[in-house]
Amino acid sequence: MRCRRGAGGMVQAIGDGLERLLYTRPLPETTADQLKALLRWERGSTRQVAAVVGVSQRTVQRWVARDPASRGRPSPGHEQRIADLVRARWQPLIRARRRAAAEAGGVVVHTRARFGFKAGHASSDDPRLRRITGRLNGAVTQQILAALDAGVSEEQHELILGRALGHLYFREAGHRAHGLHVTLTDIDFIEFALQ
């Protein structure tokens, strides 16, 4: 599983997990495959691809040249722009249906991560690696997806998800451990699934 890197080079595990939830086919990973997808959507027109990427037609022609010796490579900024364009256009109808289902019925999250908490003086608050599976309701799912749309950092995703999983797992949906503040860090893996 390839994880996207966000600002500062941090792995975007939660963002990638949410993207896998919303799509039925994986996004193209390489810039070459992403350019092929853009060309397919623009009916093979390098002029149209150049217009959406914001470069000259000749630049796009160099990027997709058949001869490897004459093929150019996009700059890191252009690679990110291409990846963002493909992500925005990938399976729009499927993404909309799956997102509506997730926001209405919630999602199941399965993760192994380091969970810690701040509690009273007599408890151990040392973070430990735990495997947790829980069902997030539609309201929390909406909040997480809105954060994904806003492009928040992985730390903010961890804060939202840590709060939700802490409520489910450690506080047993509000039946015990009132005032317990749960932190989520060091995600080993995370998977989201529709109900």
Average pLDDT, the chain: 81
Query: Mapping DSSP to helix (H, G, I), strand (E, B) and coil, where does residue 156 land?
Result: helix
Render pLDDT for 58-109 as a digit per residue (tens, 0 to 9). 999 999 988 888 788 899 999 999 998 998 899 899 999 999 999 999 899 8
Strands 107-118 and 128-136: antiparallel
Give percent of the chain above pLDDT 70: 82
Please state the domain extents for the chain.
28-89, 98-194
C-alpha 183/C-alpha 117 separation (Å) is: 6
